[in-house]
Amino acid sequence: MSNYQLYINGKWTESTNKERFFTKNPATREILATFPKGTKEDTLKAILAAEEAFPKWKMTPAPKRGEILLRVASIMRKRKEELGQTVTKEMGKIIAEGEGDVQEAIDFIEYIAGEGRRLLGETTPSELPNKFCMTIRQPIGIVGCITPWNFPIAIPCWKLGAALISGNTVVFKPATLTPLCAAKLVEIFEEAGLPSGVLNFVTGSGSVVGQEIVENPRIKTISFTGGVSTGVDIYNKASKLLKSVHLELGGKNPQIIMDDADLDLAIEGVLFGAFGSAGQRCTATSRLIIHKKVYDLVVKKLLKQMKSMKIGNPLNPETDMGPVADENQEKKILKYIEIGKNEGAKLLYGGQKLRDNFIEPTIFEAKHGMRITKEEIFGPVLAILEVKDYEEAIRVANDTKYGLSSSIYTQNIHLAFRAIQDLEVGITYINAPTIGAEVHLPFGGIKNTGNGGREAGTSAIEEFTEIKTVFIDFSGVLQKAQIQEQ
């Protein structure tokens, strides 16, 4: 077992607090490492280090910043197997998904490093002669990155990579469930040659470390992925300082199966979408909306497939689903299973705790409007609903406070393109599950899923840069835009 420290101004350093917390394997309950319960003072030191490092990092040519990120990706690629095992041991997702988490991080870091040779502005004609107009992107300053536990390597890399290539310095607080993954990631940035103070790492509670990040005026923007209530609290507090805040929050994602769909493909998709990572993805398929003409057949086929799912040790390559992340997740999910039963939803499969942190994949036959069809459970619980036609499917799919991901299975190109237009979400898949985002495309949603920004893809740098408009007048005389000369 390792005892980690904080990483501030290029050095691993002790906290001002002697108290520590531990991270453990949810499958075995083995303690993996301990970490300091960071304090306000620790966080302030990290902020001051980031502030001191910012001017030099900002002036480092963006292609040179990209070279450091490419070294990060190269190191991660060499250690992919080791890092994937760490993800699986600390978070609980099966080993293929653990390594997939790392591969997503590698892909994004390599992608975003290329922005070091772009960071595109725009040029446009002036309304006046002998005058040139353009925009440039500049870093915002110190960024606070607060990340979740369900993608403990990939999501930090989404935020850190985009913030750093843009020329910002960072104070990074990982989820208290997965600090070991985050610490190993910071070690890689250090090994890759990131200058001191550019990335600072503080572990601890949201109420102490997170609050200082949110409320300290030196931090200019906040990037947060997590629960809705926490996101709203961060937004309210940061907005009082007019900070830029980017939020990626929850989802209640529908998969629609139309009567002309390839049913076997659709069922394969929902199994992966609903029970991959034990349903602990913001993009997880939590509602399966089925056309009445194929409803009975889909349910029959789905239940048959469920019987072959292997639940157990996530390090075993044969395992299909591992544990949920911790005891609190277990309690929440089991509570929702009881809510579903009490609401009158018909339990078709699962619903039982197998052992500590292991819950059977669960399927309910539900009515639209039940809590299990409206609220994010964030676990291996799927609600299936019958609809009479496409219009009802879309109405049911959209009737939620979330708007992240969606899916429709159909062979009808007209319905496919209508769904792209009609589904009220940030992401739509045609004949594929609700999970599986690719790093070169924007990721995010609408409604209570977030506040409109996007991570990854061509939008990645937008939350971490300010646009400056530049006018260059080489006429040699005073020209007055919009004012006509007499």
Residues carrying an active site annotation? 248, 282
d(CA 172, CA 139): 17
Burial class (CB in 10 A: 0-12, 13-18, 19+), 114: middle
- Picking from 431, 435, 436, the residue whose alpha carbon sits closest to that of residue 260 is 431
Q: What is the largest CA-CA distance in the chain?
A: 86
Secondary structure of 237-300 in HEC code, one letter for each residue: HHHCCCCEEEEECCCCEEEEECCCCCHHHHHHHHHHHHHHHHHCCCCCEEEEEEECCCHHHHHH
d(CA 402, CA 399): 9
Using DSSP, state whether 420 is helix, strand or coil: helix
Q: Residue 481 is encoded by which pair of tokens?
A: 């835009």
d(CA 364, CA 374): 13
- Picking from 399, 365, 370, the residue whose alpha carbon sits closest to that of residue 295 is 365
- Picking from 113, 100, 118, 101, the residue whose alpha carbon sits closest to that of residue 72 is 113
Secondary structure of 69-82 in HEC code, one letter for each residue: HHHHHHHHHHCHHH
What DSSP line would sit under 6-62, residue for residue?
Answer: EEETTEEE--S---EEEEE-TTT--EEEEEE---HHHHHHHHHHHHHHHHHHHHS-H
Q: How many CB atoms lie within 10 A of CB 207?
A: 8
* Residue 208: alpha-carbon gap to chain centroid: 22
Contact 107, 161 (CB under 8 A): no
Q: How many CB atoms lie within 10 A of CB 354?
A: 12
- Picking from 208, 200, 168, 199, the residue whose alpha carbon sits closest to that of residue 6 is 200
